[in-house]
Structure 1
Amino acid sequence: MAQSTIISRILDKANEDAANIKNDSKEKAQELKKTIQRKSDEQISQMENDFDRKMQDLEERSELIFHLEARKNRLLKKRELIDRAFAQAKEAMNHLPEKDWSVLIAEIVASSSRTGNETIKVPEKDYEKYQSGFLSTLNKGLKVNGLPGKLTLDSDPAEFEAGILLEGDHYDINGDFEVLLQQVRDKYEREVAAILFEDRDEA
């Protein structure tokens, strides 16, 4: 009888331990499941945040590229308009009325001649003007300014389309209209841009 009671107690204890172990295992399994679920949720949330951030970066980069392209296109358009304005100015200078042409050439000579003895080179189409008295007019103007007034006309024509070249012993003064216009462009291009686009953003 005593032996049976001992065995019964041992079995009860074993069953109780087994039940405790089972409960502990179940609790640990539940905790492990929760931990795995939490980490999984955290990783998914992190992945979503990374994705959203990358998409935002991509959108911002795309928007920046769009604005840069738009600005580039605006600048190119403005450059075309400025080029056209100076091209029209060049065309006008190459076909000045006789009176305006004479005044401009005289101003170039008066401001550029250092000795009054230079040789001048001009486009072939202008030879007749100089030979018909304009060269004499230029020399008279130099004499008024206190220079000898002994400019001579080179028999070889200048290679440019319009203007005048003064050749001294140790210097040349380039009065090519295209060169003069380029100098004006270099100096005043921003001002021209401001005039062309005064109602828009700065060039």
Structure 2
Amino acid sequence: MLQHAIIPVTAFAQNCTLLWCDETMKGAVVDPGGDLDRVLAEVKRHGITLEKILVTHGHLDHAGATQDLAEKFDLPIEGPHPDDRFWIDGFPVQAQMFGFPPCRPFVPTRWLADGDTVTVGKVTLDVVHCPGHTPGHVVFVDRAGRLAQVGDVLFAGSIGRTDFPRGNHGDLIRSIREKLFPLGDDIRFIPGHGPMSTFGEERKYNPYVGGNH
């Protein structure tokens, strides 16, 4: 079974997530935006062997420490979708703009596309391409465990911003309504910021995509 621990990192309180398979104790860090000492303390506390890094999208607060972590433990990087390459290549500029420490771009070991799968230990996650917040944003779904890692696509009571370069509001709404909600009301999700929720809760009550909106 897949287990998770949420570790808020960076000045943006971004939810970096530790996912691990409780049978093998192998794990992945999802969206290592920064504060690696905090992340690694959690890895140690749970006795996890890291086997990879998963990235939902190319924004600095989600992926800024990816290259450092990958090099430190010789880990493969999976994700995001190649449409976010321009964001990752622009890390040095993003770091200056948002007052982050200098930050190195990375090249994923494997770019991801809609319909791909990734593994964490013996658990398989589905990859769902959900453009809108960024063009190459991906979501990771554990169908068996009814858990999704949605990055900045959807939040409890809100949705991702679309005013960044190549963001698209229409695409975002479609991604949520046509790709995420049909996966099931009972799926709990870990957003990129803030508390967890379920697709059912957001489908009913989220003012941006819920009810009859």
- Which TM-score band applies after superposition, normalised by the shorter structure? under 0.3
For CA contacts below 8 A with separation 6 or more, give which structure has more relative contact order: 1
Identify the structure with the greater strand proportion: 2
Instruction: Return the TM-score normalized by structure 1.
Output: 0.26
TM-score by length of 2: 0.26
